[in-house]
Structure 1
Amino acid sequence: MKIRVVSSKEEIDTLSPNEEMVHLAFRPSNTDILSLIMKCPQIKALHIPSSYKRTISNSVKMYLQMKGIELLEGDVWGHRKDINEYSEVSQGVYDRIDQYHKNGMSENDIIEKLVRETRLSSDLISFLVKNRY
């Protein structure tokens, strides 16, 4: 899955309407989040750093929940925006999810194991596992 990294509110206007997951690398206001949702009607998840997630208003959280958009906590470690505007979850992560699922591991065990093995957040891993099956 590709995660579009947005580092400023000005970039929201440049987003494709087909974006499914966006990482906000700036502290978004309610207006920023709403304009992002209007620009990207197919969005499934917003991924933001934990310090920014705490500042999101309850009304926006409820709006996202009503729209079926997940608010995920985490960072995109080691991503260089000047090289690529997308951060991508490698196929290896999906392969391990499939392997662990075939081995009969529970969803929670898969999430715990992958959080230890990768530098991805538990929210992101949980989202990937839930949307895989």
Structure 2
Amino acid sequence: MKIRVVSSRDEILSLNPNEKVIHLAFRPSNKDIFLLVEICPRLEIVQLPKSYQKTISKSMEMFLEMQKIQLIEGDVWGHRKDINEYYTVPPSVMTKIRNMQAEGIPGEKIAEKITKESKLNPKMILYILNRKQLE
């Protein structure tokens, strides 16, 4: 699974409209988020670092909720934007998630275990689990 990393508001206009998961590596304004939702109509998740998420207004949280877009806290550890604009969830993590799901382990337990091993946010892991098909 790929997460599109956006490091400045100037990049929003150049995003692919089919993006579903975006990590904002800058502190977005309400205007930035409205533009993001307009440019990417299929958007399902906006991920922000913890310090930035605290600055999002309640009205913006409600707007995203009405659009059925999850706002989650998290980072893309070790990602170098100058090398690739996408952060890819490691195949080994995707394999572990698939195997645990095949064993019938509940989603919450999978999220708990994988979070400790991969630094992915539990909500991101639950999103991966709930996708119709794992990549």
- The number of equivalent residue pairs is 133
Deviation at 1:18, TM superposition (A): 1.0
Unpaired segments ≥5 residues, structure 1: none
Deviation at 1:132, TM superposition (A): 4.8
Q: In the alignment, which residue of structure 2 is the partner of 1:16?
A: 16
Amino acid paired to 1:29: S
Amino acid paired to 1:40: C
1:5-61 residue CA offsets vs partner (Å, 9 max, x unmatched): 111111111111111111000000110001001011111100110111111111111
Identity score, percent:
47
SS of equivalent residue, structure 1 residue 79:
coil
Q: TM-score, normalised by structure 1?
A: 0.94
State the distance in 1 between where 2:111 and 2:23 align.
20
Amino acid paired to 2:93: V
1:59-116 residue CA offsets vs partner (Å, 9 max, x unmatched): 1111111111111110000000000111111232222112111222111110011011
Unpaired segments ≥5 residues, structure 2: none
The question of 1:55 aligning with 2:55 is answered: yes
State the distance in 1 between where 2:51 and 2:123 align.
14
